[in-house]
């Protein structure tokens, strides 16, 4: 075939591949581009997660070895949590009755809510 000057007609499959060649090139580029972009995004996300974990670890260490002011704050919060008692007078809404059975008007609701705050 190379010695002769004869032109060989390509077959139907070759013609089909030639027509969709831009699509195949796009597919080949995406085959490498998509994982590359994904790798960079995952690398960025992992760096953010590592930074968050380092910050959490520092806060955990601060709680394990607190300074004087933090010890006072923790003690105060512990004392306040023990002294706060929610009684019947502080309840604004209850699930004992159905909503349609409870007769709360707007002013009563606001008054009781303001008392709590």
For the chain, the structural domain boundaries read: 9-84, 86-117
What's the rounded Cα separation, in Å, for the pair 20 and 12? 13
Residue 81's pLDDT is 77
Residue 91 phi/psi, 5-degree rounding, is: -85, 125
Helices 68-83 + 21-64 axis angle, to 10: 90
pTM reported for the whole predicted model: 0.45
Residue 93's pLDDT is 65
Residue 82's pLDDT is 76
Encode the chain (117 residues) as per-residue pLDDT tens digits.
Answer: 456 677 778 888 888 988 999 999 999 999 999 999 999 999 999 999 999 999 999 988 888 888 888 888 888 888 887 776 777 766 666 677 776 666 656 667 777 777 776
Residue 7's pLDDT is 74
In tens, the pLDDT along 23-48 reads 999 999 999 999 999 999 999 999 99
- Spell out the residues 6+ positions from residue 70 whose beta carbon is closer than 8 angstroms to its own: 62, 63
């Amino acid at each position: 075939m190379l010695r002769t000057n004869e032109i060989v007609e390509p077959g139907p499959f070759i013609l089909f591949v030639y027509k969709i060649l831009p699509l195949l090139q796009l597919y080949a580029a995406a085959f490498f581009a998509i994982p590359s972009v994904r790798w960079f995004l995952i690398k960025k996300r992992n760096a953010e997660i590592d930074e968050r974990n380092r910050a959490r670890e520092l806060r955990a260490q601060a709680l394990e070895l607190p300074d004087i002011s933090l010890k006072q704050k923790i003690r105060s919060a512990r004392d306040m949590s023990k002294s706060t008692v929610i009684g019947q007078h502080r309840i604004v809404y209850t699930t004992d009755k159905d909503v349609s059975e409870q007769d709360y008007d707007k002013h009563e609701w606001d008054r009781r809510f303001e008392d709590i705050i």
